[in-house]
Amino acid sequence: MQYDYQRPQVQGFSGRVLNMKIGSKIKSQVKQLAKQTNTTDYMIFLSCVMLMLGTYCRQNDIIVGSPVSGRLNSDT
């Protein structure tokens, strides 16, 4: 199974945004898991994204940046 595509000669930075809504059942399960593990909903969803990326990329280390997560001070 092929997961990737031929790379272009010139690197591009175009992308897209995908907005999704989750059902109330999954939402309540995520809330319950977050409570059990003393984490946030964001941490649960980020872990899921990282697992998915690791599976598709077949990499052990996945780095995902989050420049505004949990930063309440405007200086950060």
Query: Which pLDDT score, from 0 to 100, does residue 30 have?
Result: 94
What average pLDDT does range 22-27 have in this prediction? 94
pLDDT (tens digit, 9 = 90+) per residue, 34-55? 999 999 998 999 899 888 888 8
Distance, in Å, from the CA atom of 47 to the CA atom of 4, rounded to the nearest integer, reads 22
Q: Which helix (H) or strand (E) holds 20?
A: none
Q: CA 54 to CA 59: how far, in whole Å?
A: 5
Average pLDDT over residues 59-63: 78
Write down the pLDDT at residue 3: 57
pTM: predicted TM-score of the whole model, two decimal places? 0.59
The per-residue pLDDT for range 10-23, each reduced to its tens digit, is 888 887 887 889 89
